[in-house]
Amino acid sequence: MTTHAQRERLLLADLLEASGPDAPTLCGNWTTRDLAAHVVVRERRGDAAAGLVVPRLADRLERVRREYAERPYAELIRLIRTGPPRLSPFALKQLDEASNTVEFYVHTEDVRRAQPQWTPREIDPVFADALWKRLERAARLFGRRSPVGLVLRRPDGQTVVAHRGSPVVTVTGEPAELTMYAFGRQAVADVRAEGEAEAVGRAAVAELGV
């Protein structure tokens, strides 16, 4: 049975291929080529990917990513589509599902929503629930840098506290949109933020995410 991570992997690979190597993304000044290189290095070069969590290794990570970005774009797409090598931790289905479902969803949206006329993607209820469960588990990590108290809420009323503090901003939206918000893509997330005007403004530009 295809997992959420496997499906999102293929969607990302297809979108990167269709967009070409020079399309913009929401990842700063990265093009689709840069983003593709990042995805490949993250799951194929563990020695360099450690720079994602260890600041002193960040320069090495960026150097390796740039080296991969110089490879043929078609090769990068193929490596994403075929997945990590057998000995990679990401080759384990459980770890792949836990680590890559949100990663690949967000990066797919990074490509889609960087286009001027992007349209919302229809999210099935099962996938929406899967994204919400991940938000529930990792909300405190996502919101740890929030300058205000931050509560995430689904339209049905389910809530999770991302950051304790005062004043409080409550952000309401579907799980997919809350995921984009939690990963620092507030400007393109279809959500409604409620609270004191100044607090809402501060939350809207905060460097959230991991």
Residue 178 lies in a domain: yes
Within this chain, do residues 93 and 143 fall inside the same structural domain, yes or no? no
Residue 118 lies in a domain: no
Ordered strands of the 159-163 beta sheet: 159-163, 149-153, 168-172, 192-194
Angle at 88 between CA 82 and CA 92, to 5 degrees: 80
Within this chain, do residues 55 and 87 fall inside the same structural domain, yes or no? yes
Q: What is the mean pLDDT of the chain?
A: 91
Residue 180 lies in a domain: yes
Within this chain, do residues 171 and 198 fall inside the same structural domain, yes or no? yes
pLDDT digits (tens, 9 = 90+) for 155-188: 999 999 999 999 999 999 999 999 999 998 999 9
Within this chain, do residues 157 and 199 fall inside the same structural domain, yes or no? yes
- pLDDT at residue 189 greater than cutoff 80: yes
Q: How many domains does the chain have?
A: 2
Residue 121 lies in a domain: no
Answer yes or no: are the C-beta atoms of 13 and 81 closer than 8 Å: yes
E-assigned strand segments in the chain: 149-153, 159-163, 168-172, 192-194
- Domain termination site, one of 112, 141, 172: 112
Within this chain, do residues 43 and 97 fall inside the same structural domain, yes or no? yes
pLDDT band at 57 (very low <50, low <70, confident <90, very high): confident
pLDDT digits (tens, 9 = 90+) for 20-48: 999 999 999 999 999 999 999 988 887 76
Within this chain, do residues 98 and 12 fall inside the same structural domain, yes or no? yes
Instruction: Give the CATH number of the domain where residue 163 resides.
Output: 3.30.1050.20
E-assigned strand segments in 143-189: 149-153, 159-163, 168-172
Residue 139 lies in a domain: yes
Within this chain, do residues 16 and 95 fall inside the same structural domain, yes or no? yes
**Full residue range of the structural domain in which residue 173 is found:** 127-204
Task: Please name every residue paired with 161 in a beta bridge, in sequence order, or none if there are none.
Answer: 151
Residue 117 lies in a domain: no
Within this chain, do residues 97 and 176 fall inside the same structural domain, yes or no? no
d(CA 197, CA 193): 9
Answer yes or no: are the C-beta atoms of 184 and 207 closer than 8 Å: yes
Within this chain, do residues 94 and 165 fall inside the same structural domain, yes or no? no
- pLDDT at residue 206 greater than cutoff 70: yes
Answer yes or no: are the C-beta atoms of 31 and 23 closer than 8 Å: yes
Answer yes or no: are the C-beta atoms of 80 and 16 closer than 8 Å: yes
Within this chain, do residues 55 and 136 fall inside the same structural domain, yes or no? no
Residue 209 lies in a domain: no
pLDDT digits (tens, 9 = 90+) for 115-158: 988 988 999 999 999 999 999 999 888 888 888 999 999 999 99
Within this chain, do residues 91 and 183 fall inside the same structural domain, yes or no? no
What is the pTM (predicted TM-score) of this model?
A: 0.92
pLDDT value, residue 191: 96
Residue 161 lies in a domain: yes
- Locate 2 and state its tokens: 């295809």
Answer yes or no: are the C-beta atoms of 76 and 67 closer than 8 Å: no
pLDDT value, residue 208: 73
Within this chain, do residues 146 and 108 fall inside the same structural domain, yes or no? no
